[in-house]
């Protein structure tokens, strides 16, 4: 399927404006596009309540988490890690919109983690902050959702990478228990020479050069990138991880590693659903009110999470005691 027309139009507009690719910019300059796209997306839907909290990182530095609580009694807690190559992105901009939308669609509290970014805070700061954010959500689960609610991790791109790593950490550190994971076009490996990485049709808003730029800022030591905390596909053991949705998109350098991770999870005995957004390019999942793929994508992820929550409630509900007539 060809790239959908609105995405083609956006790329044409950027070309006409002669916007340099991210790989030719400084992090500070690249971050200036965030407010522009956030203005195009607009404010997300209203939620029942918003709670902002500051947490202290392992090095004593502070970062924020935001709990977006829907109306009614939340049925789950979703800890969401945003994309942006570990360099860009912020919970105050487009991802606040994503979080609000996801909260309302799934009837769940969404906790956004504003992990600190590279190059100011390089690997492993992002995953250390994220684990602390995940632990905070688990510790406050009873305040954020109904009794017995599942704890879910989700994220897109670099955030999908972080969500995947969180499932490894939670398993190996014996907590907190993660019940489900939703990974949207996740970074799972540091190999930049896969077929989808070098495919000319995939060199769009995210290109091979841009991903190399992200990696260089996040983890300059090329050899260290093979560590499973950076490339979860390379973990020696993927067994015992929570059921997963892996949602890749057609025009994306990261396509092949997302598919490979889904297959590796399945081989390890993890229940996994692999879905593909046909005709979409990397970045669509954060482009509310900009790219039509956003609506399709957020609906698909929300539907899978909602189905899991429903099944979880059914299987975890206490069974009525059997009775018999005298």
Structural domain boundaries of the chain? 5-17+33-312
Residues with catalytic function: 157
Residues of the chain with pLDDT under 70: 317-326
For residues 102 and 123, give the distance between their C-alpha atoms in angstroms, rounded to a whole number: 28
Please tell me the CATH code under which domain 5-17+33-312 is placed: 3.40.50.1820
For residues 148 and 263, give the distance between their C-alpha atoms in angstroms, rounded to a whole number: 30
Can you spell out the DSSP letters for 213-225?
A: HHHHHH---TGGG
Q: What is the 3-state secondary structure (H, E, C) of 67-83?
A: EEECCCCCCCEEEEECC
Q: What are phi and psi of 110, to 5 degrees?
A: -105, 125
Query: What's residue 318's pLDDT?
Result: 57
Are residues 154 and 305 in contact, defined by beta-carbon separation less than 8 angstroms? yes
Q: What are phi and psi of 101, to 5 degrees?
A: -60, -45
Which among 182, 160, 202 is positioned nearest to 299, based on CA atoms? 182
Residue 60 region, left (φ>0) first, then alpha (ψ -120 to 50), else beta? left
Beta pairing, strands 109-114 & 62-69:
antiparallel
Query: Does the pTM exceed 0.85?
Result: yes
Distance of CA 214 to the CA centre of its chain: 16
Query: What's residue 320's pLDDT?
Result: 43
Query: What's residue 317's pLDDT?
Result: 61
């Amino acid at each position: 399927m060809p790239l959908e027309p609105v995405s083609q139009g956006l790329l044409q507009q950027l070309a006409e404006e002669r916007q340099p690719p991210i790989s030719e910019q400084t992090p500070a300059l690249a971050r200036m596009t965030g407010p522009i796209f956030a203005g195009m997306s607009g404010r997300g839907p209203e939620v029942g309540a918003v709670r902002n909290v500051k947490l202290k990182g392992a090095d004593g530095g502070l970062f924020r988490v935001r709990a977006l609580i829907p109306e009614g009694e939340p049925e789950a807690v979703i800890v969401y890690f945003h994309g942006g190559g570990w360099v860009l992105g912020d919970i105050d901009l487009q991802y606040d919109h994503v979080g609000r939308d996801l909260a309302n669609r799934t009837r769940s509290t969404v906790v956004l983690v504003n992990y600190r970014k590279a190059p100011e805070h390089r690997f492993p700061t992002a995953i250390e902050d994220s684990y602390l954010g995940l632990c905070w959500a688990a510790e406050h689960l009873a305040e954020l959702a109904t009794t017995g609610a599942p704890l879910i991790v989700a994220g897109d791109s670099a955030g999908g990478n972080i969500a995947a790593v969180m499932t490894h950490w939670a398993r190996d550190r014996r907590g907190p228990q993660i019940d489900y994971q939703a990974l949207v076009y996740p970074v799972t490996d540091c190999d930049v020479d896969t077929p989808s990485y070098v495919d000319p049709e995939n060199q769009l808003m995210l290109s091979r050069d841009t991903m190399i730029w992200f990696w260089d800022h996040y983890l300059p030591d090329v050899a260290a990138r093979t560590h499973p905390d950076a490339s979860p596909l390379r973990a020696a053991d993927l067994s015992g991880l929570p059921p997963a949705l892996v949602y890749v998109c057609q025009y994306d350098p990261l396509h092949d590693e997302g598919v490979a991770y889904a297959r590796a999870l399945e081989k390890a005995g993890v229940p996994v659903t692999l879905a593909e957004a046909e005709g979409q390019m990397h970045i669509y999942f954060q482009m509310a009110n900009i790219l039509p793929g956003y609506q399709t994508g957020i609906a698909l992820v929300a539907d899978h999470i909602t189905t899991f929550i429903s099944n979880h409630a059914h299987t975890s509900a206490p069974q009525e005691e059997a009775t018999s007539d005298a």
